[in-house]
């Protein structure tokens, strides 16, 4: 098809569309998906082969590469944690505002006269 998008990506997009439209039942895909997840180790073989193929490169720059990967992973984790924390705080504040609006809407305002003073004046008049 000479498309810049790989055929596997196009196939997965078509499968997703068919699943969403309920044209392909989920049961028919479940067995194959379970097998792929069970054999996930197969997807990690190419990096191992690459590590063996470029062993001299890893021998020279291995420490620097591992340090760079650890630093990048740490920065991504810190950034994700910071973002999630800020979003949780924002959501908590929004929930508090919604609850406050509900409470304010449920409050019944009584007339400004004091009921105890009215009762005392009625007792004085009766005496």
Q: Output the pTM of the full model.
A: 0.41
The pLDDT tens digits of the residues spanning 48-102 come to: 777 788 888 888 988 998 899 899 999 999 999 999 999 999 999 999 999 998 8
Q: What angle do CA 8, 10, 13 make, to 5 degrees?
A: 110
Distances (CA, A) of 8 to 27, 45, 96: 21, 19, 46
Place of tokens 């001299």: 56
CA distance 26 to 17: 12
% of the chain with per-residue pLDDT over 70: 82
The stretch 105-124 carries a mean pLDDT of: 60
Q: Which helix (H) or strand (E) element contains residue 50?
A: helix 45-53
């Amino acid at each position: 098809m000479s498309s810049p998008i790989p055929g596997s990506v196009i196939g997965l997009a078509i499968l997703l569309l068919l699943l969403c439209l309920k044209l392909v039942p989920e049961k028919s895909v479940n067995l194959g998906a379970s097998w792929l997840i069970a054999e996930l180790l197969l997807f990690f073989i190419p990096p191992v082969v690459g590590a063996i193929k470029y062993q001299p490169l890893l021998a020279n720059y291995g420490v620097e590469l591992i340090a760079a990967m650890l630093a990048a992973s740490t920065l991504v984790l810190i950034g994700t944690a910071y973002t999630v924390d800020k979003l949780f705080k924002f959501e908590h504040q929004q929930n508090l505002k919604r609850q406050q609006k509900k409470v304010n809407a449920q409050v019944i305002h009584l007339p400004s006269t004091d009921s105890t003073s009215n009762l005392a004046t009625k007792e004085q008049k009766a005496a």
